[in-house]
Amino acid sequence: MDTNSCDIPVNHGFSVPARVSRDSNPEDTIVNIKGVEVGGSEVVVIAGPCAVESHEQLFETAKAIKAGGAGILRGGAFKPRSSPYSFQGMGEDGLKLLSDIRKEFGLPVVTEVMDTRQVELVVSYADMIQIGSRNMQNYPLLKEAGMCKKPVLLKRGMMSTIEEFLLAAEYILNQGNEQVILCERGIRTFETSTRNTLDLSAVPMLKRLCHLPVIVDPSHGTGLRWMVPSMAKAAVAVGADGLIMEVHYKPEEALCDGQQSLSLNEFTQLMADLRKIAVAVGREIR
Ligand code: PEP
Ligand code: MN
């Protein structure tokens, strides 16, 4: 850790929670999702639609992202929507589709859990559970995730500091689950031209303070399809262990977040570009 002229460790005044801290575990933690390792030399790409909508949608999207080199399929079955009148997700039918498509393509799946009462159900289908931005400080949910035996993808709260983010992860580790991946997905600032302000400085900061893998979500981080490739490349350059990106076979028809979803061709092109960046920073992408 850097020191200032008085030899005081510089982390702007908070102490890193014990279990996530590099003091407790100097080595990088590698999270294993059904054989896909996040936190090692490979930069792992998680891709798929915002929400599971149909067999056709998930099948076509999964086929293309697998061919493009993604390691994990994403897709929400329970969606946290700002409006109660928006599509809320397919629920258990969506989970079933995810598990069908997993069998078809051999891709592990990650999907969001929003409520402690859903954990058992979601864990029974998913290879990794996602705790979304809006639930980063849902402490009962964090504890429940800490008691389950599946890896957890924890997204940064849109109003959360790095300290609060690390404390949220600490809740999960404190229950005995060390398989946690942190995800920077943008924070709210005064800026309105992007959906959120993607805080890429969180990546080196988190990697310095804690031993957990850190990935970046340029889709929610920008809200703009055309900007996703630039920020994805920047995320790899800045040391992210992976990316999670929304991809849809027909973005203009998506029931959720189509404006920030890459088309299948855009995704394939981006993967080719990302491989070059990865090599330049001593990593690889499959
Ligand atoms: C998502 O990944 O679809 C999602 C809702 O993300 P966030 O929790 O970061 O808004
Ligand atoms: Mn989304």
Confidence of residue 210 (pLDDT cuts 50, 70, 90): very high
pLDDT digits (tens, 9 = 90+) for 45-81: 999 999 999 999 999 999 999 999 999 999 999 999 9
* Beta-bridge mates of residue 153: 130, 181
Q: Which of the 8 DSSP states describes residue 50? A: S
Q: How far is the CA of 98 from the centre of ligand 1 (A)?
A: 17
DSSP-assigned beta bridge partners for residue 100: none
Q: Are 140 and 117 in contact (CB under 8 A)?
A: no
Atom 3 in ligand 1: residue holding the nearest Cα:
50
The alpha carbon of 181 and the centre of ligand 1 are apart by a number of angstroms equal to 14
Is the pLDDT at 6 greater than 80? The verdict is no
State the pLDDT at residue 9: 56
What separation in angstroms does the CA of 178 have from each of 21, 55, 148, 174, 241?
Answer: 12, 33, 11, 8, 17
Say what the pLDDT of residue 5 is: 47
Token output for 221? 């981080």
pLDDT above 80 (res 135): yes
For the segment 185-202, the average pLDDT, to the nearest whole number, is 98
Sign of CA dihedral 174, 203, 126, 95: positive
| Residue 11's pLDDT band (cuts 50, 70, 90) | low
Element (DSSP H or E) covering residue 56: helix 55-68
Test site for ligand 1: of 81, 130, 194, most ligand atoms within 8 A of the Cβ: 130
Q: Is the dihedral of CA 123, 127, 132, 136 positive or negative?
A: positive
Cβ 237 vs Cβ 277: under 8 Å = yes
pLDDT for 87-116, tens place per residue? Answer: 999 999 999 999 999 999 999 999 999 999
Question: Is residue 8's pLDDT more than 80?
Answer: no
Q: Supply the DSSP symbol for 157.
A: P
CA of 21 to the centre of ligand 1 (A): 26
Position of tokens 């973005």?
251
- Give yes or no for a contact between 184 and 198, defined as CB atoms under 8 angstroms apart: yes
Q: pLDDT tens digits for 151-181?
A: 999 999 999 999 999 999 999 999 999 999 9
Q: Which atom of ligand 1 is nearest to the CA of 155?
A: 9
Hey, CA dihedral for 245, 246, 248, 252, is it positive or negative?
negative
Tell me what the mean pLDDT of segment 255-284 comes to.
98
Residue 36 has pLDDT above 60, yes or no: yes
CA of 220 to the centre of ligand 1 (A): 7
Question: For ligand 1, what atom is nearest to the CA of residue 135?
Answer: 8
Q: Which residue, 66, 125, 83, is CA-closest to 256?
A: 83
